[in-house]
Amino acid sequence: MSKNYKNVLSYILLTLGAVALMLPFIWMIVTSLQTQADALAVPPIWLPKSLQWTNYIHAWHAAPFARYCLNSLLVTITTTVGQLFTSILVAFAFTHLQFYGRRLLFTLLISLLMVPGELLLIPNFVTLTNLHWINTYAALIIPWLASIFAMFALRQAFQAQPKSTYYAARIDGANNWQYLWSILVPANRTTITAIAILQSIGSWNAFMWPLIVTNSDRLWTLPVGLTAFTSETGTNYPLLMAATVFVILPLLILYLFLQKYIITGITAAKLSSRSSSAKQ
**What's the whole-number mean pLDDT along residues 126-132?**
92
pLDDT, tens only, 153-172: 899 888 888 888 888 888 88
Contact in structure between 207 and 223 (CB atoms under 8 Å): yes
278 pLDDT exceeds 50?
no
Given CA atoms 78, 206, 90, 88 in this order, what sign does their dihedral have? negative
176 pLDDT exceeds 80?
yes
Return the pLDDT at 272.
Answer: 53
Q: Which SS3 state, helix, strand or coil, does residue 116 take?
A: coil
pLDDT, tens only, 85-99: 999 999 999 998 888
Return the pLDDT at 141.
Answer: 94
1 pLDDT exceeds 60?
no
Distances (CA, A) of 36 to 23, 31, 55, 234, 246: 20, 9, 10, 11, 19
Return the pLDDT at 80.
Answer: 94
Contacts of 91 (CB under 8 A, 6+ apart): 151, 154, 155, 157, 158
Strands 230-231 vs 234-235: parallel, antiparallel or unpaired:
antiparallel
How does residue 273 score in pLDDT terms, banded at 50, 70 and 90?
Answer: low
Q: Which domains does the chain have, with CATH numbers?
A: 56-279 (1.10.3720.10)
Neighbours of 167 (CB within 10 A): 11
pLDDT, tens only, 231-259: 655 678 888 888 888 888 888 888 787 77
270 pLDDT exceeds 80?
no
